[in-house]
Amino acid sequence: DENWPNKSGISTLIPMDVQRLYVTPKSSPEEQLKLSKKQLKRIKISSLNTIFSFSGKKDDKSLKVSPLVSDLKKMEIEDLGIDISILSNPVYENISIVKLERIKCVRGPIVNLAEEDITGGSGILKNQASCPFNAFAIHRLGAKEIQSPSFGLSNLERGVIIHKCMQILWEKICSQERLIYLTEQELNKTIRMSVCSVIDEWKTKRPDIMRSKYASFEIQRLTKLILSWLNIEKERTPFKTWSLEKSERTEIGGLPLKLMIDRIDMADNGEYIVIDYKTGNKCNTNSWDGDRPVEPQLPLYALLGKVKIAGVAFAQINISSQSFVGYTKTADSLPGLIPSNENWDDRIARWRKSLERLSEEFIEGYAVAGNMNKSSSKLNQHLIPLNRLYEKNMELYMENVTCIFKKQKSSN
């Protein structure tokens, strides 16, 4: 009775006489009563049988039924024909009194490659490995995440900027020989020119952020960061850049994929090494292995068929850590890599097997909702209302608790 009809409330931002003159919401008790009656009428006609209920107590205070429904026929819970004994134990508090139909959502329709435009590159395999339902939702239903606004440049935008800087820089330098040949002054100038051209472009894209002072600091930061990274590139065995930011089409397990590869280098011995720039701190090869690899991107790049890939590595470029992280066929191809005991061809075969299996799962419509590896729960959290994994976990918990309760009851 305290909340329906709601109390009127005068807005402090509008003069009281204006509110009453134009009958603004909550401006008078009469308007609130009229609104509540309208809501009540709408609720009544929404069903053949409508049942209203109210709380009898709030803390130590007794509550009364709203006068708007006090004329309706009163019923007790026993009159509804519900076995209330199942509600008396807290074990059953989350069990619905209505029998729900259960549908197994394990498989969706098989992918029709002739009619479906599947996009996502290596992200398809990453999502399929972590949670097949999420892969189905993102790449077939189009359930994309809405990006949250951020203060300043987002991590994604910072990554795009440094990718572009490295692309322009290597288009000018082209080889390690040229890199080593440049004097410190010439190299600084080349880096700065590359960075400035990218920042000028972003001044148009993000004029709200890339103002004069901010842009100046960003140029200094990126120039220093890239110069430090190039000192690591100088330690490598001789190489030339073979491709930069190149789009490649490939197929794995019958699934066509479009990939954007940051860089492929060709060593003097004719071997090709794929380089992928990473500006984040978390970067390791442990996530590449297993039947459901957490990060299948570089293992996928290693399977490119146009040239024989003899190494794949992240180029980790950030202020706190700069190093190559990956595997190569030939020892010492990249500085800082720990030699692997596994044969390169055996590694490639193992990667191919796991990625083909994931591709086949996706094509066949395998879309079970479940976290398949430890980091799965951290990915695609925007899909939680859709995949309802937390509810599924609660159902399993309740089933287990119910079994325990029944066993205890039977033993007593």
**Cβ–Cβ under 8 Å, residues 190 and 179:** no
Say how far apart CA 105 and CA 388 lie, in whole Å. Answer: 12
Name the most confidently modeled range: 69-73, 147-151, 237-241, 250-254.
237-241
Say how far apart CA 280 and CA 103 lie, in whole Å. Answer: 41
Q: Is the pLDDT of residue 56 over 60?
A: yes
Output the six-digit token pair for 116: 């479906």
pLDDT of residue 403: 58
Q: What is the average per-residue pLDDT within 154-173?
A: 93
Say how far apart CA 182 and CA 84 lie, in whole Å. Answer: 84
Say how far apart CA 107 and CA 243 lie, in whole Å. Answer: 39
Q: Is the pLDDT of residue 182 over 90?
A: yes
Which backbone phi and psi does 265 adopt, to 5 degrees?
-105, 150
Please confirm whether the linkage preceding 29 is cis (ω < 30° from 0): no
Say how far apart CA 279 and CA 315 lie, in whole Å. Answer: 8
Count the helix, strand and coil residues of the chain and give each as a percent rounded to the nearest 5: 45, 15, 40
Which of 44-48, 209-213, 342-346, 385-389 is the least confident region?
385-389
Each residue of 219-269: pLDDT tens digit? 999 999 999 999 999 999 999 999 999 998 889 999 999 999 999 999 988
Say how far apart CA 401 and CA 412 lie, in whole Å. Answer: 17
**Cβ–Cβ under 8 Å, residues 237 and 268:** yes
Count of Cβ atoms closer than 10 Å to residue 17 Cβ:
8
Give the DSSP per-residue string, 32-72.
HHHHHHHHHHHHHTTSSS------SEETTEE----TTTTTS
In angstroms, the Cα distances linking 177 to 13, 105, 180, 233, 238 are: 71, 57, 5, 11, 7
- Compute the mean pLDDT over every residue in the chain, rounded to the nearest whole number: 83
CA max distance for the chain? 94
Find residue 314's DSSP bridge partners: 276, 325
In angstroms, the Cα distances linking 282 to 95, 123, 241, 258 are: 42, 17, 26, 25
**Cβ–Cβ under 8 Å, residues 333 and 273:** yes
Each residue of 308-350: pLDDT tens digit? 899 999 999 988 889 999 999 888 889 888 777 889 999 999 9
pLDDT of residue 393: 62
Question: In terms of Cα–Cα distance, which of 339, 356, 323 is closest to 128?
Answer: 356
- Treating both helix axes as pointing N-terminal to C-terminal, what angle do 132-139 and 344-363 enclose, rounded to 10 degrees? 70
pLDDT of residue 385: 78
pLDDT of residue 70: 76
Q: Is the pLDDT of residue 171 over 70?
A: yes
Each residue of 365-387: pLDDT tens digit? 998 887 777 666 666 777 877 87
Q: Domain residue spans in the chain?
A: 155-227
The angle at the Cα of 36, spanning 35 to 41, to the nearest 5 degrees, equals: 100
Q: How far is CA 48 from the centre of its chain?
A: 43
pTM recorded for the entire structure: 0.69
Say how far apart CA 10 and CA 24 lie, in whole Å. Answer: 9
Which of 147-161, 212-226, 308-322, 392-406 is the least confident region?
392-406
Position 278 confidence tier, pLDDT thresholds 50, 70, 90: very high
Side-chain-side CA neighbours of 377 within 13 Å: the count stands at 4
Position 147 confidence tier, pLDDT thresholds 50, 70, 90: confident
pLDDT of residue 98: 63
* % of the chain with per-residue pLDDT over 70: 86
Q: Is the pLDDT of residue 94 over 60?
A: no
**Cβ–Cβ under 8 Å, residues 353 and 244:** no
Amino acid at 325: V
Give the DSSP per-residue string, 190-206.
HHHHHHHHHHHHHHHH-
Give the DSSP per-residue string, 312-367.
EEEEEESSS-EEEEEEESSTTSSTTPPPPSS-HHHHHHHHHHHHHHHHHHHHTTB-
Position 105 confidence tier, pLDDT thresholds 50, 70, 90: confident
Q: Is the pLDDT of residue 362 over 80?
A: yes
Tell me which of 131 and 64 has the higher pLDDT. 131
Q: Is the pLDDT of residue 396 over 70?
A: no
Question: In terms of Cα–Cα distance, which of 400, 392, 398 is closest to 369?
Answer: 392
**Cβ–Cβ under 8 Å, residues 272 and 329:** no
Find residue 205's DSSP bridge partners: none
Find residue 272's DSSP bridge partners: 266, 309
